[in-house]
Amino acid sequence: MSIQIAPSILAADFANLQKEVEMLNASKADFIHVDIMDGVFVPNISFGIPVTEAIHKHATKPLDVHLMIVNPDNYLQAFRNAGAEIISVHYEACNHLHRSLQAIRNFGAKAGVAINPHTSINLLADVIQDIDLVCVMSVNPGFGGQKFIENTYDKVSRLKDLILSKGAKTLIEIDGGVNLQNAPKLMAAGADVLVAGSFVFSSANPIATIQELKAIHN
Ligand code: DX5
Ligand code: ZN
């Protein structure tokens, strides 16, 4: 299967959000990645439920919502109602991860877990069957446009081995600093979905850039 691309709307022009969503609709993007930051779990604030609803109103692609927030359980239903198809909570923000994953699936969404660069993939071994997507952070969450952390390749290979050893169907998503240089290596290591924010939106032709990412083969 070809790589799936999830452009991050965080890097879009917020004053022209409808236009940006329509551009993604017309592109080869598979998802729209929606970054929610609360200023507590991460040192930045992005936007929340009403803006997610507004994006959903115009989007023809599924929303992949990345919750960089504390107490995510309190907001799962609201983000599902706002149109999230995938909801990822952070491993580091959940005291009862298994319960959070069940709640996401009960609300009818796909259950994702995001892990910070310092978090070991081994911590997911006992819940991997309950995870539809692992979002491997390849930068410290909080900001777009950061430098890709090289340890990610090795981490993705080990995560792929874990998923295969458990017979799970979990997808591996990479989030942060993705570009055309690291994308082929990430795909070779086992990545299924690539998030790309600044690389797409700061390019001269975002639709062509998405197409180039989508065309990558390992
Ligand atoms: C970082 C966010 C990422 C970010 C990616 O906290 O989770 O999704 O938007 O942006 P780039 O691709 O610019 O690193
Ligand atoms: Zn993200």
The closest residue, in CA terms, to atom 12 on ligand 1 is 197
Based on the residue annotation, tell me whether 175 is a catalytic residue of this protein: yes
State what percent of residues in the chain have pLDDT above 90.
Answer: 98
Specify the ligand 1 atom closest to the Cα of 44: 6
Which of 38, 64, 132, 175 is the catalytic position? Answer: 175
CA 8 – ligand 2 centroid, Å? 7
Phi and psi at residue 131, in whole multiples of 5°? -110, 125
The closest residue, in CA terms, to atom 6 on ligand 1 is 141
Quick one: which ligand is closest to 194's CA? 1
CA angle 173/128/122 to nearest 5° reads 85
Burial 100-135 (b: 16+ CB within 10 A, else e): bbebbeebebbbbbbbbeebebeebeebbebbbbbb
**pLDDT, tens digit (0-9, with 9 covering 90-100), for 7-47:** 999 999 999 999 999 999 999 999 999 999 999 999 999 99
What mean pLDDT value characterizes the chain?
A: 98
pTM recorded for the entire structure: 0.98
Minimal CA–CA distance to 146: which of 218, 18, 42, 217?
42
Does residue 218 carry a pLDDT above 90?
Answer: no
Domain boundaries, the chain: 4-214
Residue 59 near residue 25, CB atoms below 8 Å: yes
**pLDDT, tens digit (0-9, with 9 covering 90-100), for 68-88:** 999 999 999 999 999 999 999
Residue 86 near residue 110, CB atoms below 8 Å: yes
Specify the ligand 1 atom closest to the Cα of 138: 14
Which of 35, 38, 130, 132 is the catalytic position? Answer: 35
**pLDDT, tens digit (0-9, with 9 covering 90-100), for 44-53:** 999 999 999 9
Does residue 120 carry a pLDDT above 90?
Answer: yes
Based on the residue annotation, tell me whether 35 is a catalytic residue of this protein: yes
The CATH homologous superfamily of the domain defined by 4-214: Aldolase class I (3.20.20.70)
Specify the ligand 1 atom closest to the Cα of 66: 7
- For residue 43, what pLDDT is reported? 98
The C-alpha atoms of residue 89 and residue 38 are separated, in whole angstroms, by 13
Phi and psi at residue 50, in whole multiples of 5°? -60, -35
Report the half-sphere exposure of 56 (CA within 13 A, side-chain side): 18
173 band by pLDDT with thresholds 50, 70 and 90:
very high
Does residue 72 line the site of ligand 1, with CB under 6 A?
A: no
What's the helix, strand, coil split of the chain in %, to 5? 40, 20, 40
Does residue 1 carry a pLDDT above 80?
Answer: no
CA 129 – ligand 2 centroid, Å? 22
Does residue 175 line the site of ligand 1, with CB under 6 A?
A: yes
State what percent of residues in the chain have pLDDT above 70.
Answer: 99
- For residue 184, what pLDDT is reported? 97
217 band by pLDDT with thresholds 50, 70 and 90:
confident
**pLDDT, tens digit (0-9, with 9 covering 90-100), for 58-68:** 999 999 999 99
